[in-house]
Chain A
Amino acid sequence: MKPFDIVIVGGGGAGLYAAMEAMKTNPGLNIAVLSKIYPNRSHTSAAQGGANAALANKAKDDTVEMHIFDTIKGSDYLADQDAVEVLCSEAPKIIRELDNMGTPWSRMDDKTIAQRPFGGAGRPRCCYCADKTGHTILQTLYEQCLRKGVFFFNEYFALELSVDGSRSRGLIAMNIKTGKVEAFPAKTVVFATGGYAKMYWNRSSNAAGNTGDGQAIAYRAGIPLKDMEFVQFHPTGLRKSGLLVTEGARGEGGYLVNALGERFMSRYAPEKMELGPRDLVSRSLETEILEGRGFDSPAGKYLHLDLRHLGADIIKSRLPQIREMCMYFEGVDPIDDPVPVRPTAHYSMGGIDTDNYGRTIMEGVYAAGECGCVSVHGANRLGGNSLLDILVFGRITGRAAAEEASRFNPSPIPPSEVAEKEQELRSFMQPRGHYERYGTLREDLGHSLGANVGIFREASKIKQGIKDIESLKDRFQHVRVFDTGDVYNTNLIQVLELKNMLDLSETVAEGALAREESRGSHTRTDFPTRDDEKWHKHSIYTYEEGRPKLAYKPVTMGRYELQERTY
């Protein structure tokens, strides 16, 4: 097979923007987007709230500079300031670009793009389309990629990078519809596979497939990961399902209330109240529950998000999807009843270590979006910055990959590598005397991480978590795929996803144990304060003999000095 110029793994916002920008950079390029689902179903569609950009449509005095500062402060000063500068300066341009290609933004009376307030932001700068922003952006990008003739390989599962010394030769993937393992020789590979927060399985807002496939493949190929211990819990997951109620609901004026009827955020963020940053609000909810001021139910303890005072009109026009979800999954209509919520694992700040162009240490390999770690979110991401991240860095990475693809010619992928991979997949289907089911392992992993490496962490608990992961990895040796067929074998896919989650969960736990401080989403009850002297640095993990080896690297500073973070 003639090599592709670019193989993009993942068809969400970052992957599609990268594909589109690469086509714009050089229309002659041969670009493939591989997705384990159909691109229009990617998890980008679940992002409800919006994307930040200092357009100053709503608050005339908003500036890019303020957006930069809010982001750095929100990150608890762990973000690289040069990267944040790129993110925020590109933001107005990219929102307008999306508008120019057909994204249906909600509008203000003067016909410009509407903006609403979001947590941790000094001005209302979140651009949105009702509560379906991610969905409409994803559809727009997919439509534009179809228009431009990007070549899609839908329902392909990425297995492994083919590496030649310090360079990648391309990717090995399985066609889910046929079960065939295929080589995708490529001059450049871009990982855009999204986050890994589904490892918290039952307590996660993520789609079933957010299993960190891209990070796991890169990690096992020797590419370092960064800041994996920072997993963000979103304050308002639905009690039963963990599904998300957008921060937009609080942006529109929703209150958080405990079992005593108190608007308890006055205790934790007297100024910002419900619009404090996510790490702080999540901890506040968890504290209320731990101190006995939550409601009790068979599905666990919870608190109330009260939207009733917004009135039926606002709820129906600005939060229609949220209303539907509350009715489908909790049986409450937010017009009449408060919504039962509790924090849920939501976003992975960590990911594949890249520079500001999405480049990794391996030649020809890039990463963008939640899959990568530039890092613009540091220890805690602000709402409305994740869509922005995938758009801005999807585009930059697409351009960089297109430029590199015009310069390089990799060696071909040896057929033996494909055959070996095929053999490995078959081995999961061998009958074995004692076997394990993926469903059980997956659930045990989620429970252990939630209990031991969740919102509040301490050494003894994290150690227990690490022990659990080790034992789960042993049990995984006995996992069996019962579906022995080739066609659309979802049983096999789920086992492969579990393997990825197990490898990554080890980096999360090891990183959390090592980091003896509290910063952003990482809260150590045994080290409750931020320790800049020892820990103002990025964690770096390299795969060595099946385990993560930890190292550190400095945070890039800029004009903002370290400050205490209050809201």
Chain B
Amino acid sequence: MSDSTIQHHEESRDVTFRVHRFNPQVDSKPYFDDYTIKLEKGITVLRALNYIKEHVDPTLTFRAFCQAGICGSCAMRINNMSKLACTTQVWDELDKAREPGVIKIEPLRNLPHIKDLVVEMDPLVGKMKKYSNWVDSKMPESNWGKKEFLVSEEEFLTYDKATDCILCASCVSECTILRAHKEYVSPAVLLKSYRMNADSRDGIHDQRLAGLVQDHGVWDCTHCYRCQETCVKNIPIMDAIHGIREDAIERRGTKDTSGARHAEAFMDDIEKKGRLVEATLPIRTNGLAWTLKNLLPMAVKMIIKRRTPPPPPLVKASKGIQSLRKELKEMASHVAKDHEKKSGE
């Protein structure tokens, strides 16, 4: 074939795919298989995996469907980062490989493992349901279809990026909070919640928000930005999370959530001392009883290891605290003005 003779001009080399394997029917624990194949430049990871499945090992198991970066099926960890295999170039990954010529392929994290590169997606769907990730229309169903809502391009733009989400779960996989708490709402579900809340056609904004400020909700996020860095569609997920938080403080104040109280105690300390009084943060956030029950054992361990923060009387105000207070006051008055403007509109 003339095709193959021309293709010889393309750069080609041997590439090793170190693939996470596990079949619960026969394996007691996961292991890695190395597949070394000759590839040409310009090939995606998915095409390489398809080649391995068809020509080397038909038992290798992964998901793939549209192969065009829009369905989200082939999300997996490639060189320690969650990505879509179909939009990831092998040559780009070779540049990032820790061991020359070896690309490591693993399943997504933070979701139950099924086999090889396949993980269970049901927990994500369960959370979408729990947090009402749908528009609950202000229009009664019996009137649907009669006339369209009027929506400004401006409003559409506030959630346009969020509707790019393909639920591939890459952000879920890289989320550091989910690693500690499986119940955490998760970045994908926060993003969808934000999108629904920003939609003027939706009628359950307050109810959804009430759910999001509960335990394992929006306040558990620690701003590590891993979700946003991972997102295969470059969606600013952290902006959405910040958006929900601002919305929550504005609508619900700081009364009913540990996260909001935590943030308030934080601000209070900065204003008074210019630094945190860490030792009393848990008490101010969650109350004395909670702190004694949940944190005392850990505190004892920390004291033994000499890892405790200084006791409150020893936390002195920072140098330059006067000017810091002045700046804070100024900022606060700007914020208040902005709010006035907003409510006046």
Contact = CB atoms under 8 A, between A and B. Distances in A.
Interface of A: 24, 37-38, 40-43, 45-46, 55, 93-97, 99-102, 104-113, 129-130, 132, 135-136, 139-140, 143-144, 146-147, 152, 154, 177, 207-209, 240-241, 243-244, 298-300, 321, 324-325, 328-329, 331, 437-440, 481-483, 485-491
Contact of B163 (A37, A129, A244, A437): A129
13 contacts: A43-B71, A97-B144, A100-B144, A102-B137, A132-B164, A139-B167, A143-B134, A147-B134, A208-B65, A208-B66, A439-B54, A485-B23, A490-B53
B99 interface: no
Contacts of B137: 100-102
Given A97-B144, A113-B148, A102 B135 contact: yes
A346 to B, nearest CB: 13
Given A111-B152, A130-B160, A45 B70 contact: yes
B151 interface: yes
B42 A143 contact: no
Contact of A40 (B89, B122, B167): B167
A99 B148 contact: yes
Interface residues of B, number: 71
Contact of B145 (A96, A111, A329): A96
Interface string B121-140: 11001001100111111010
Given A240-B42, A490-B62, 18 more contacts: A37-B65, A40-B167, A45-B70, A45-B166, A55-B148, A99-B149, A102-B201, A102-B202, A106-B153, A111-B153, A112-B150, A135-B163, A140-B135, A177-B114, A244-B68, A325-B69, A329-B68, A490-B61
B199 A488 contact: no
A277 B68 CA distance: 24
B80 interface: no
Nearest to B65: A207
Most A CB within 10 A of own CB, among B9, B121, B159? B121
Given A94-B145, A485-B59, A328 B70 contact: no
Contacts of B128: 143, 146
Given A46-B71, A491-B58, A100 B3 contact: no
Nearest to B202: A102
Most B CB within 10 A of own CB, among A97, A102, A438, A486? A102
Contacts of B151: 105, 107, 111
Nearest to B23: A485
Contacts of B115: 487-488
Given A37-B73, A99-B148, A488-B115, A46 B135 contact: no
Given A38-B121, A143-B134, A104 B69 contact: no
Contact of A104 (B55, B64, B129, B156): B156
Contacts of B9: 298
Contacts of A209: 65
B71 A143 contact: no
Contacts of A491: 53, 58-59
Interface in B222-263: none
Interface string B156-175: 10011001111100000000
A557 to B, nearest CB: 29
A398 to B, nearest CB: 14
Contacts of B67: 207-208, 241, 243
B303 interface: no
Most A CB within 10 A of own CB, among B58, B118, B133? B58
Contacts of A129: 163
A135 B167 CA distance: 11
A37 B137 CA distance: 28
Contacts of A136: 163
A135 B166 contact: yes
Most B CB within 10 A of own CB, among A37, A130, A437? A37
